Amino acid sequence: MTGKLRLGVNIDHVATVRNARGSAYPDPVRAAKLAEEAGADGITAHLREDRRHISDADIDGLMESLTVPLNLEMAATDEMQAIALRHKPHAVCIVPEKREERTTEGGLEVAKDENRLAHFIAPLRDAGCRVSIFIAADPVQVEAAARIGAAVVELHTGAYCDLHAEGRFEERDAELQRLREMSAYAHGLGLEVHAGHGLTYDTVGPVAAFPEVRELNIGHFLIGEAIFRGLTPAIAEMRRLMDVARD
């Protein structure tokens, strides 16, 4: 059942570099167009409540110029819902957000907030957006995501990647096994399965090999790697490693 694995390139951190100086460059929309030419199957951008990287104008620019689908990551707030309903991107990925965090640290606690989230995503679905829920590899969250009517779950690979980076290989392998089981479980419940967060050339292979995973969303590492080899070769190498793992 190994269909094509899509690569969504997250361009948030092009905006991080721009915003560090309050300049107009580097432009994340230009990076997104380049990523598209380099073979990205989609572009992911996280419009955070504090606008620390991607801005509202960036979302306008992405919607105007992309030919591949935009996956808009956002918190489940009224403000973000209104923005998503105005743009109607191909996909909306609901993520937890805390202002004090450096990045999206954990998955969404869907089970604890099931009613509100079901109501929150209904208009997005009605508007034609594919709604994805970013969750940890936890059966309770997978089941809740299915119950609220999400089309997709994105499994959080951050813990797996951190354990790898810290050399805690037994725990890494246990987390990888949880991710593997949850991708099969979610697929069995009728959910499309995506994965992402913290993936690098070293960690992408085992996740890309899960047959049920249809999309990986990767950003921070690729934007960093682009400093050394350029964005196009950085993406091409990620694509190659994904294809090798999928064979």
Residues classed as catalytic: 46, 73, 197
Q: Does 73 bind ligand PXP (CB under 6 A)?
A: yes
Q: How far apart are CA 194 and CA 108, in angstroms?
A: 15
Q: Which of 95, 226 has the CB closer to ligand PXP?
A: 95
H helix runs in the chain, sequence order: 12-21, 28-37, 56-65, 78-87, 114-126, 139-147, 158-165, 169-188, 204-208, 220-229, 231-246
The three-class DSSP label of residue 155 is: strand
Residue whose token pair is 């037994």: 170
Q: Which of 81, 132 has the CB closer to ligand PXP?
A: 132
> Could you tell me if 84 and 48 are in contact, meaning their C-beta atoms sit under 8 angstroms apart?
no
Q: Which stretch in 16-24, 58-66, 81-89, 197-205 sits in contact with ligand PXP by CB under 6 A?
A: 197-205
Instruction: Name which position in 7, 196, 225, 234 contacts ligand PXP (CB under 6 A).
Output: 196
Q: Does 220 bind ligand PXP (CB under 6 A)?
A: yes
Instruction: Name which position in 92, 199, 207, 208 contacts ligand PXP (CB under 6 A).
Output: 199
CB of residue 158 to ligand PXP, shortest distance in Å: 7
Binding pattern to ligand PXP, positions 114-143, x when CB under 6 A?
Answer: --------------------x---------
**What distances in angstroms separate CA 140 from CA 9, 109, 111, 222, one per listed residue?**
28, 9, 7, 32
Assigned token pair, 10:
């997250």
Q: Positive or negative, the Cα torsion across 232, 237, 240, 245? A: negative
Q: Which of 154, 170 has the CB closer to ligand PXP?
A: 154
Q: Which residues bind ligand PXP (CB under 6 A)?
A: 10, 12, 46, 73, 93, 95, 104, 134, 154, 196-199, 217-221
